[in-house]
Amino acid sequence: MTTELTGDLSDVLRNRRSLRILDPEHVLGDAQLARLLRAAQWSPSAGNSQPWGFLVACRGDETHDRFVKHLSAGNRSWVPAASAVLITAHQVASGPEDDAPAFSDYAMYDLGQAAAMLTVEAGLLGLTAHQFAGFDHDGVAEEFGVPEHWRVTTAIAIGTYGDPSAADPALVERDRRPRVRKELSEFVFAGTWGASAGL
Amino acid sequence: MTTELTGDLSDVLRNRRSLRILDPEHVLGDAQLARLLRAAQWSPSAGNSQPWGFLVACRGDETHDRFVKHLSAGNRSWVPAASAVLITAHQVASGPEDDAPAFSDYAMYDLGQAAAMLTVEAGLLGLTAHQFAGFDHDGVAEEFGVPEHWRVTTAIAIGTYGDPSAADPALVERDRRPRVRKELSEFVFAGTWGASAGL
C-alpha cells in the first residue's frame, strides 16, 4: 500500500478526490451538466453498445426530492448538498424491442468507463464528482420506472468543495484522510500473474 | 444517433479514438508505461477495493509473444503493431488468503473506470489506447496463471498513430469511419426512465 501519489501523473487525475464537503449553494448550469453527460456519451464501449443510462437529479428539483429518500443513512449526511446527483444504470439483457441491440457482457465495465470519463470532465471543469452506491437500488428502480433489462448501479454526486468550518467534523475528517492505494508491484505483472513487471 | 461531436467537451475526451493504424516502430518507455498504470492505480473504486490487475506485454518481449498467439483473427491484423498491450483482469471472488479483502460487486465497473483513467492519461501523453476483447480469454488466463478468483476481461493496445499509406486499406477505412453515438435524449432522463431531462 502507498499513501502518497509519487511519480508523474496528469494534474486532473492527480487532483481527483471523492469529497464529501460540498457547497450547498452551488448551482450546476445546464451547459456544464450537458458537458458531463457528453463525456459519458463519447466514452468507448464494446461494439459501440453504449449500454449506459443516467437519471439526472438537480438539488431542489422533483427527481432530487424523490431520490434522497432512498439514500443510506451514511450518505444522507452529505449527498443532499451536492449540486446534482446522476443515477447510473447499465443494461443487463436485451430489450423487448424487435430491433433491440444485443446485450453486451461488458455493460457494467463500460458504464464504469462512462462514469470515469464524466468524472475526468468534472475535474477539468473545477467540479468534484463523488461516486457512491449506498442507496436503495430496488427502491430507486421502482421510483423512476427503470425497466427490468436495466440495473441501477451507482450514483455520482457533482458539486464544488464547500466550507469545512461550516461542515460536520466527521465529514471533514473523512475528506482529509490520506489517499491509500496498492503499490504498482501489487497489481501490475509480466510473464506470470504475480510476477513483477519491473515498474 | 449522432455522428458529430457537437457542443463543449474537453479536448482530451473529444480527441479520443480507438485507432487501429499504429506505428510498429514506436517504443513505449517505462516512465510513460508507469504513468499509464498510475492513472489506473489512483482511479476510484467501491470501498477502495482496487479490484484490478494488469499484465504488461511490450512489443518484442516474451509476454507479448505469448499473448499475440491468443488474438482473434480480426485483431491479429492490427494489435501486434501496438507498442504495448495491457491485459486487464477484475476480481470475481475473495482470494484464498486469510486476510483477503471482501469481494466487491462493483469490480467489473471499477476495472472499467481504471481502464478509462488509463485511456485519458494516454491521450494526455499523445498516445492512443484502443481497448478490445477479441482474444481467447481462457487461453490467456491459463498462459499467464491468472488465479480462479480473477477474470481476464479486456486488453488495451497502446501506441502512436502510424502511417496510413503503409497500412492495410481495410484498417484505414475502419479508422476513418465517423464516430456514432446515441443522442443525450436517448440515455439521459429525469423524473421517469425514458423522459427527457431537457438537455
Instruction: Closest CB to B120: pick one of A5, A111, A120.
Output: A120
- Looking at every residue in chain B, the average pLDDT score rounds to 95
Nine-digit cell at B95?
Answer: 482470494
What's residue B1's pLDDT? Answer: 82
What's residue A120's pLDDT? Answer: 98
> Buried (b) or exposed (e) across A31-47, using 16+ Cβ within 10 A?
ebbbbbbbbbbbbbbbe
Instruction: Kindly calculate the radius of gyration of chain B based on its CA atoms and give it in whole angstroms.
Output: 18
Domain B19-163 in CATH 3.40.50.620:
no
Q: Measured between beta carbons, which residues in chain A are less than 8 angstroms from residue B12?
A: 120, 124
Nine-digit cell at B154?
Answer: 479486456
Query: What share of chain A has pLDDT > 70, as a percent?
Result: 97
Judge contact between B135 and B73, C-beta under 8 A: no
| B103, pLDDT greater than 80 | no
Q: Measured between beta carbons, which residues in chain B are less than 8 angstroms from residue A154?
A: 106, 109
| B98, pLDDT greater than 80 | no
- Are B115 and A113 in contact (CB < 8 Å)? yes
Judge contact between A176 and A18, C-beta under 8 A: no
- Are A10 and B121 in contact (CB < 8 Å)? yes
What's residue B101's pLDDT? Answer: 62
Q: Which phi and psi angles does A153 have, rounded to 5°?
A: -120, -60
Q: Which phi and psi angles does B193 have, rounded to 5°?
A: -55, 125
What's residue A95's pLDDT? Answer: 80
Which residues does chain A have with pLDDT short of 50? none
In terms of DSSP bridges, do strands A150-159 and B192-196 run parallel, antiparallel, or are they unpaired?
unpaired
CA distance A71 to chain B (A): 16
- Are B144 and A37 in contact (CB < 8 Å)? no
Q: Is A48 exposed, middle or buried (0-12, 13-18, 19+ CB in 10 A)?
A: middle
What's residue A111's pLDDT? Answer: 98
- C-alpha A191: how far from its chain's center? 33
Average pLDDT over residues B36-59: 97
Separation of alpha carbons A39 and A140, rounded Å: 24
Average pLDDT over residues B100-125: 92
- Are A31 and B8 in contact (CB < 8 Å)? yes
For chain A, strand residue ranges (E) read 52-58, 84-91, 128-132, 150-159, 188-189
Plot region of B191 (φ>0 → left; ψ -120 to 50 → alpha; else → beta): left
Half-sphere exposure of A96 (CA within 13 A, CB side): 2
ipTM: 0.96
Q: Where are the domains of chain A?
A: 21-161
> Buried (b) or exposed (e) across B79-102, using 16+ Cβ within 10 A?
bbbbbbbbbbbbbeeeeeeeeeee
What's residue B100's pLDDT? Answer: 65
Separation of alpha carbons A114 and A119, rounded Å: 9
Q: Measured between beta carbons, which residues in chain A are less than 8 angstroms from residue B52?
A: 187
What's residue B102's pLDDT? Answer: 66
- Are B189 and A46 in contact (CB < 8 Å)? no
What's residue B94's pLDDT? Answer: 85
What's residue B71's pLDDT? Answer: 98
Q: Using DSSP, state whether B96 is helix, strand or coil.
A: coil
Separation of alpha carbons A148 and B18, rounded Å: 31
Q: Measured between beta carbons, which residues in chain B are less than 8 angstroms from residue A57?
A: 190
Q: Which of A109, A185, A199 would you mutate first to test chain B, the one with the most B CBs within 10 A?
A: A109
Q: Using DSSP, state whether A54 is helix, strand or coil.
A: strand
> Buried (b) or exposed (e) across B38-67, using 16+ Cβ within 10 A?
bbbbbbbbbeebbbbbbbbbbbeeebbebb
The residue of chain A with its CA nearest to that of B52 is A187
- Are B187 and A53 in contact (CB < 8 Å)? yes
Average pLDDT over residues B122-144: 97
Q: Measured between beta carbons, which residues in chain A are less than 8 angstroms from residue B109?
A: 90, 108-109, 111-112, 115, 153-154
Separation of alpha carbons B90 and B112, rounded Å: 9
What's residue B186's pLDDT? Answer: 96
**pTM to 2 decimals?**
0.97
What's residue A99's pLDDT? Answer: 66
Each residue's pLDDT tens digit, A54-81: 999 999 999 999 999 999 999 999 999 9
Count of CB pairs separated by less than 8 Å, A with B: 225
Instruction: Closest CB to B34: pick one of A5, A61, A184.
Output: A184
Average pLDDT over residues B107-131: 98
Nearest Cα to Cα of residue A199 among A2, A17, A15, A13: A2
The residue of chain B with its CA nearest to that of A38 is B9
Instruction: Closest CB to A44: pick one of B18, B35, B146.
Output: B18
Q: Measured between beta carbons, which residues in chain A are less than 8 angstroms from residue B43?
A: 116
CA distance B68 to chain A (A): 13
B35 or A96: whose pLDDT is higher? B35
- DSSP labels for B106-149? THHHHHHHHHHHHHHHHHHTT-EEEEE--B-HHHHHHHHT--TT
Judge contact between B54 and B107, C-beta under 8 A: no
Question: In CATH, which superfamily holds the domain spanning A21-161?
Answer: NADH Oxidase (3.40.109.10)
Helix, strand, coil tally for chain A in percent (to 5): 35, 20, 45
